[in-house]
Amino acid sequence: MGDVELAEALRRQGISDERVLEAIRRLERAEFVPEAMRNVAGQDSPLPIGHGQTISQPYIVAFMTQALELKPGERVLEIGTGSGYQTAVLAQLCGEVYSVEVLPELAGPARERLERLGFGNIHFRVGDGTAGWPEAAPFDAILGTAAPERLPPALYQQLRPGGRLVLPVGPLHGTQELIRVTRPPAGEAARVENLLSVRFVPMTRAPPADLLH
């Protein structure tokens, strides 16, 4: 089945990358939201997924994915697995996805869900995504679905020359700016573009281990 109508609604709003629309069409967003929300999952709005977090608005998922300009076979780092919906869109459009989520309560179910749906090209990690995933770097593309106040240096460092990073940056509570940073060949200044005003949950730092017990 899949979200055919949702993809058509996104096309009418200006999403033009056919591969992104197809990736959305093939998924059922209802599978990524709590049971009580299933009946509204096909709407273009964010929804609560528990633990103070939200599944992003489909338009934003599509917009950010389109802005990454992924090519088949590329390796992508995602910060903020959340429900895994954005992860599932990315996994259809690239070679490998490395997804980091700070909350184990969300990471566990997202992993189960994506494995049940048959995705075999997603690597999961529970931890603080502001550190990136150094062992798997460099990445062709990096996407953040939570907003830090400033671009975490580790993320830029883990982007290969020519790589693209799309991330909301700004005040922890309020409106942030969705930016795209393109890493140039060595020696040149990074190219930073402001794409859209957005509202994301804050990108938090993991609490020290002794606070977890």
Site for ligand SAH in 173-212 (CB under 6 A): 201, 203-205
The CB-side HSE value for 10 (13 A sphere, CA atoms) comes to: 30
Radius of gyration of the chain (CA): 16
Q: Is 86 a residue that touches ligand SAH (CB under 6 A)?
A: yes
Which position's Cβ is nearest ligand SAH?
Answer: 82
Out of 20, 21, 41, 54, point to the residue binding ligand SAH (CB under 6 A). Answer: 54
Taking the C-alpha atoms of residue 179 and residue 168, their distance in angstroms, rounded to an integer, is: 6
Angle, to 10 degrees, between the axis of helix 58-68 and the axis of helix 4-12?
A: 70
Q: Is 79 a residue that touches ligand SAH (CB under 6 A)?
A: yes
Instruction: Give the Cβ contact number of residue 95 at 10 Å.
Output: 14
In the bound state with ligand SAH, the residue whose beta carbon lies nearer, of 78 and 184, is: 78
- Min dist CB 3 to ligand SAH, Å, is 14
159 φ, ψ (degrees, to nearest 5)? -95, 135
Task: Give the angle subtended at the CA of 63 by the CAs of 59 and 69, to the nearest 5°.
Answer: 150
Taking the C-alpha atoms of residue 122 and residue 116, their distance in angstroms, rounded to an integer, is: 12
Q: Is 100 a residue that touches ligand SAH (CB under 6 A)?
A: yes
Out of 17, 128, 159, 183, point to the residue binding ligand SAH (CB under 6 A). Answer: 128
- Contact segment (CB under 6 A) with ligand SAH among 17-25, 36-44, 96-104, 165-173 equals 96-104
- Contact segment (CB under 6 A) with ligand SAH among 11-19, 89-97, 99-107, 159-167 equals 99-107
> Which residues touch 207 (CB under 8 Å, ≥6 apart)?
none
Nearest one of 173, 200, 190, 211 to 79, comparing CA atoms: 200
In the bound state with ligand SAH, the residue whose beta carbon lies nearer, of 29 and 75, is: 29
- CA–CA distances in Å: residue 80 to residues 16, 188, 195: 25, 29, 20
Q: Is 168 a residue that touches ligand SAH (CB under 6 A)?
A: no
- Contact segment (CB under 6 A) with ligand SAH among 12-20, 35-43, 95-103, 180-188 equals 95-103
Catalytic choice (56, 83, 99, 197): 56
Nearest one of 182, 148, 190 to 168, comparing CA atoms: 148
Catalytic-residue membership of 56: yes
| Residues at the interface with ligand SAH (CB under 6 A) | 53-56, 79-80, 82-83, 85-86, 100-103, 106, 128-130, 145-146, 201, 203-205
Residues serving a catalytic function are: 56
